[in-house]
Amino acid sequence: MSSSKVASLKLEFLVVGGGLAGFGVAYALSKAGHKVKVFEKQPSLGMPAGGLRVPPNMSKILRAWAGAEKLDKISVLNIGTPWYNLETGEKMGFAEWRPAVMQETGGAFLMMKHEDVHRLLYDLAVSEGAEVIFNANVTAVTPGEPKPSITLASGEVHTADIVIGADGPHSFVRKTVLVDDPPEGQASGYSVLGAIIPGEAMSKDSDLAPWLAVDEWPIFMGNRRSMCGHPVSAKKEFAVQLYWPDEDSGPEECSADWFDVLTAGDIRLETCGPNLMSDSLKRLLEMAPHFVRTRWLEYPEKFDYWSDESGRIVLLGEAAHPWFPGGTHPAAMALEDAAVFAALFSRLRREDQIGAFVSAYQEIRENRTLEVRRMDVSNAALVRMPPGPERDQRDESIRHARGEWDEGLLQKEFEGVAALFGYEALDAADEWWVNWGRFQHSDDNREEVDFGVQSHMINGISSA
């Protein structure tokens, strides 16, 4: 998953947003020989965050970029998921990530802390020469002829060949790309609350210590809400995550930023029912130093364009395809985006290839992200069903699964997961290159390219 190609023509990139997507694409583009600056409005690394599930399609990228030794030090292998009833604590079943199946995907299903992955990608980007500027609030993105620019709150202006908007689901850069009708997020009625529990505190509780020691990702299913948790940081800490209705997730007021920091006392846990999971899980949540609440705002399922008319201002990660907070796959999709985008631009020889590469990036990635998001949303809905026949059918399927998917509701909801885990981002970029972008030699020995797609500037994005 690591490309060794270095571009013949080297560009300057400005990346707006220093999250996983921003640092990921900064690393991959820098490794391909390009000059990259990242602008992040937060003051530093280490902002509040929670846990992260890293499916094989993402762990393959991280392992190729960082090496097995670094990754193993900050991750925990996920071998399976026990299913519990959130209200009663009943263990209903177990879904195993079988080694033989994982081997076929070429990667491992890991559990990590968001902060650890964030710092890993930052270190990789900086090590390859990317410049990262914190406390950099971008107030304007301006298309240019030919070069676009960004303006900071300080009044400072930066110009480059391409601006990448990697600034998350509520992207500011998106307003420049979708100038006619930039969509506003609509309240979904749900919030996600994440926390990191110190392992030292858990290890002193005989009921909780086993949760830290096992390589599992337990999921608790309730009425319009759910909870999950898993060890992180090589089992030194434990991540928990609540999907909670907005009315029960803390104070109605929310910050102007993308998250709020709350305590367990701010969350209405009693709404789970009279048994509220169990006393041990109550104690677990009370051990959290704080919770990070993110309101889930829903956007259109897809945007028509991931770049402006010039092809020089491009969206990546959740700026291009907003996810729901706490999903299993948004980080994986962001790093796949970064790998594909950089792989295309590692082949850059002439400036007139830029428009075709940008169009190809969306062509390669759009259907993939759309399908995976639909699956992720469906799976999240599966574990927070209200009482009724569908929930009863789900519970019956889980109780009789005995460690394997059956032919009922679970198979319908999770079919295709194994195939998605096997995705190779660089293979997708190489396939496009072989089919559409490979070099052809003309009579004067100049290398010409038949891209197979029209530039976004001329006819818009071709469909895959």
Give the residue extent of every domain in the chain.
12-185+299-439
Q: Please identify which residue in the block is written with the tokens 């197979």.
A: 452
What are 52's strand-pairing partners?
112
Q: Please identify which residue in the block is written with the tokens 């985008």.
A: 341
Residues 17 and 133 sit within 8 Å (Cβ to Cβ): no
Element containing residue 177 per DSSP (H, E): helix 174-177
Strand locations in 34-137, DSSP E?
Answer: 35-39, 51-54, 75-77, 80-85, 91-96, 110-113, 131-133
The whole-angstrom distance between residue 131's C-alpha and the CA centroid of its chain comes to 22
The C-alpha atoms of residue 390 and residue 244 are separated, in whole angstroms, by 20
Q: What is the DSSP letter of 60?
A: H
Q: At what angle do helices 20-31 and 56-66 cross, to 10 degrees?
A: 50
Cα–Cα separations (whole angstroms), residue 252 to 188, 257, 262, 295: 14, 14, 12, 11
The C-alpha atoms of residue 25 and residue 341 are separated, in whole angstroms, by 8
The C-alpha atoms of residue 211 and residue 207 are separated, in whole angstroms, by 8
- HSE of 202 in the Cβ direction (CA atoms, 13 Å)? 27
How many Cβ atoms from other residues are within 10 Å of residue 323's Cβ? 23
What are 312's strand-pairing partners?
none
What does the pLDDT profile of the chain (464 residues) look like in tens digits?
A: 556 789 999 999 999 999 999 999 999 999 999 999 999 999 999 887 889 999 999 999 999 999 999 999 999 999 999 999 888 888 898 888 877 777 778 889 999 999 999 999 999 999 999 999 999 999 999 998 789 999 999 999 999 999 999 999 999 999 999 987 778 888 888 989 999 999 999 999 998 999 999 999 999 999 998 999 999 999 999 999 999 888 887 777 665 455 788 887 788 776 665 555 567 788 888 899 999 989 898 999 899 999 999 999 999 999 999 998 888 999 999 999 999 999 999 999 999 899 999 999 999 999 999 999 998 998 899 999 999 999 999 998 888 765 454 445 445 444 556 668 888 888 888 888 888 766 533 333 334 333 333 333 323 333 33
Phi, psi of 129 (to 5 degrees): 105, 0
The whole-angstrom distance between residue 355's C-alpha and the CA centroid of its chain comes to 26
Read off the tokens for 383: 């574990």
Q: Considering the entire predicted model, what is its pTM?
A: 0.88
Q: What is the DSSP letter of 462?
A: P
Helix (H, G, I), strand (E, B) or coil at 178: coil
Phi, psi of 256 (to 5 degrees): -75, -15
How many Cβ atoms from other residues are within 10 Å of residue 263's Cβ? 14
User: Taking the domain 12-185+299-439, which CATH number applies?
Assistant: 3.50.50.60
Nearest in space to 323 (alpha carbons), one of 36, 2, 52: 52
Neighbouring residues of 229: CB distance < 8 A, sequence distance ≥ 6: 51, 211, 217, 218, 238, 239, 240, 241, 284
Nearest in space to 368 (alpha carbons), one of 28, 27, 15, 57: 57
Q: What is the layout of strands, in order, in the sheet containing 80-85?
A: 91-96, 80-85, 219-221, 226-232, 237-245, 186-198, 291-298, 260-262
How many Cβ atoms from other residues are within 10 Å of residue 19's Cβ? 25
